[in-house]
Structure 1
């Protein structure tokens, strides 16, 4: 079955008008089968983009290597895990250029690496504001990790060796459970408010608050579908990281392109029919 056939057989359901939320009529209710379609369409965009997508993803492989090596050399390897979590928190911003590539493919333009890097220029004020909010969110997350480590292990050196020694102690397991729960809470907020917000701000001149509102509505109206999508994002990105970051050269572009198609399925553009 071709991608076009899939789209025709698994078309999104029309959005009910109103539904009690402001701008709720701009969000479609979609079937869970669409999630596979987003990944499929993302893969098609990667192929259509040629070298642009893997080159974009390769930048983050290099950044991952540099951060890991730098933190290890500074004896701050305990921050590697929090920084991986921080990467997931700001990933909607990092994949902005991939949304631009998918938009170019959709509109029949040849993808450009330079245009991908400069994608923020489409709506600079609000995209940069969203970036600052995500960066602040990331800084709070990392800081809370450091504070939690100090509270759980007040007499333990913050070295990587010390962290490994404490991992399988009872206190270490409580620490892991606490950080996992905290990370889930941070990731949930970031996902709900940004799953369609950045693509939307790239696509048209929306402000950060309106785009975040539409993103929240998309999750509220499609809770099971969006939970599945969030799980797949974590799975694919996790596989990319588990390969010593090398797999991110493919995983990140795949998720970025697929996220554009998730936005296009979920959010109705002005003038489009439901």
Structure 2
């Protein structure tokens, strides 16, 4: 049997993945903070846009728990694409360049096709979650069609139907969120720096996550906690948290992928 051609082997060649200590995510956050402080004028506008956009969506969905859940989940599903400009800042900063906000948009222009394709897949995941969310509300939640955002916690604690809904919602949502995290943990930075296809980037990301499971579980937890703080501060904290996570994610990619 003939061996695969060199071109085919090269096309499907996957880069290696480095093993990381469990606590490495704290180093990524520290390095991300340093990157943000070195380029505040380029980094913080992304936080302002994320906070402003998120606040408008929350206000629009405040009386509809179905859509509110989709908005909250959407930050985790499509946030990696929104941080492309932040990745570009870190990439250029590593080469010793000072970066302006306008220059940080260059990464999007250079890799538009691959990023658009990956973004469409993430949006498809968000659409699937919106449908699942609607079905769960229809089947399990009997508390009415709408509820003010400020009363959600009280409702979910005191209403037995709401408790059953919450367990199902969080369970299915966690499975989807973890799946998206596995394919996107390092894939978008990789697409921006290397000449690889989307499939190669996603497979490499899955390998990086599964090959450093405890480290990446901690990293995913930190992302959820920090994003939660952003929402808990009515999006004010997101001005810093969004670019911080973007810079730290680039540092994670640099450490994980050979």
Structure 1 outlier segments of 4+, above 4 Å: 22-25, 161-166
> Which blocks of at least 5 consecutive residues in structure 1 are unaligned?
1-21, 269-274
Q: Establish whether residue 85 from structure 1 lines up as the match of residue 73 from structure 2.
A: yes
1:14 counterpart residue number: none
TM-score normalized by structure 2?
0.88
1-side partners of 2:148 and 2:20: how far apart? Answer: 48
Q: Establish whether residue 52 from structure 1 lines up as the match of residue 42 from structure 2.
A: yes
Q: Establish whether residue 257 from structure 1 lines up as the match of residue 247 from structure 2.
A: yes
Aligned equivalent of 1:131, options 119, 140, 146:
119
TM-score normalized by structure 1?
0.83
Aligned equivalent of 1:158, options 128, 141, 145:
145
> How far did 1:118 drift?
4.3
Alignment of 1:96-175 (within 5 A): 96-153=84-141, 157-161=144-148, 164=152, 166-167=155-156, 168-175=158-165
Question: Which structure has the higher relative contact order (CA within 8 Å, separation 6+)?
Answer: 2
1:224 counterpart residue number: 214
Aligned residues: 244
Aligned equivalent of 2:52, options 50, 57, 62:
62
1:235 counterpart residue number: 225
Cα deviations across residues 145-175 of structure 1 (Å, max 9, x unaligned)? 1111011136x54212598485221111010
> Which blocks of at least 5 consecutive residues in structure 2 are unaligned?
1-11
Residues 46, 127 of structure 1: alpha-carbon distance in 2 compared, 3 angstrom cutoff: same
Cα deviations across residues 46-85 of structure 1 (Å, max 9, x unaligned)? 011022211210101110121122234xx53541122101
SS across alignment from 1:230: helix
Alpha-carbon RMSD across the aligned residues, in angstroms, is 1.9
Aligned equivalent of 2:20, options 21, 24, 30:
30
